[in-house]
Amino acid sequence: MELTLDGKVALVTGGSRGIGRAIAAAFAAAGAQVMISSRKADDLKATAAELGDRIAWHPANAGDPDAADQCVAMTIERLGGLDILVNNAATNPYMGPVIDSDAPRWDKTFQVNLRGPLNWAQSAWRGRMADNGGVVINIASIGGMRPGGPIGVYDTSKAALIHLTAHLATEMAPGVRVNGIAPGLVKTDFAKVLVEGVGDAVAARTPLKRLGEPEDIAHTALFLASDASSWMTGQTLVVDGGAMLNGALG
């Protein structure tokens, strides 16, 4: 089955590198026009130049509701619509025991990782999707599905995002489908500390014996964005090489 997004317009937050960049590339290759956003204009400009003329860019802080409204409006104005929203941007300012976490970094994590996806979904809903339908994809984590590990604050925000995904699916139906992806440990700059620290051990304990690549997540996002998943909503798909089967960290 060929997965196509011909004639579709997508917006990918955190789209200048890593998983977001791979998703933008996969969507463009499938025929979509794609707006990518992140905080740094220079990174966005460079990524758009590398990925080709189907990619537009607009700088936006994923945790700022006004920036979400502006980016959604710019996407509709420049690309003629908005059919697919990918909430990929995330932050992880604190590593260590949750019991020792401080309020500023806790709040920052939830501002970007949980309130952010809600703000962007609200902007997409009010600006386009309530009347025209669409797809929302939230990038969560397998860390949101089981306790333990060194990034408990981040993982707790992702657990909440998984619940939010299911809840929004009930509210935005039937016109908008809302699904999520829970990656395992993927080789990105964002996960560099974990990859360098425990990556080899995780890969050894994973049934498929490797860490994830950004493209592994992008392929799943393409499926969820396409009509091939037209009877799916409220689900979060685990893409982790089988890591959770053996309790490997991700």
Report pLDDT digits (tens) over 195-234.
776 777 888 889 999 998 999 999 999 999 999 999 999 9
Instruction: Say if 238 falls within a structural domain.
Output: no
Binned at pLDDT 50, 70 and 90, residue 189 comes out as confident
The dihedral through the CA atoms of 153, 67, 24, 190 has a sign that is negative
Residue at 203 is within a domain: no
* Percent of the chain whose predicted confidence (pLDDT) is above 90: 88
Instruction: State yes or no: pLDDT of 250 exceeds 50.
Output: no
Residue 248 has pLDDT above 90, yes or no: no
How many CB atoms lie under 10 A from the CB of residue 46?
Answer: 14
Res. 2 pLDDT band, cuts 50 70 90: confident
69 within a domain of the structure (yes/no)? yes
User: The sheet that has 134-139: what strands, in order across it?
Assistant: 55-57, 33-37, 9-13, 84-87, 134-139, 176-183, 236-239
Active site residue 154: yes
Looking at the domain assignment, is residue 31 inside a domain? yes
Number of folded domains that form the chain: 1
Supply the CATH number for residue 19's domain: 3.40.50.720
For residues 147 and 140, what is the distance between their CA atoms, to the nearest angstrom? Answer: 14
- Domain membership flag for residue 222: yes
Q: Work out the mean pLDDT of the chain and round it to a whole number.
A: 95
- Identify the domain containing residue 46 by its residue range: 9-181+214-229
- Per DSSP, the chain holds a count of helices (H) and strands (E) of 9, 7
pLDDT at residue 126, rounded to an integer: 98
The conformation of residue 151, written as its DSSP 8-state character, comes to B
* Model confidence pLDDT, tens digit, residues 105-145: 999 999 999 999 999 999 999 999 999 999 999 999 999 99
State the pTM of this model. Answer: 0.95
Q: Would you say residue 153 lies in a domain?
A: yes
pLDDT of residue 165: 98
**Distance, first Cα to last Cα, the chain:** 30
> What ranges make up the beta strands (E) of the chain?
9-13, 33-37, 55-57, 84-87, 134-139, 176-183, 236-239
Instruction: Identify the active-site residue in 120, 125, 154, 223.
Output: 154
Residue 109's pLDDT is what?
98
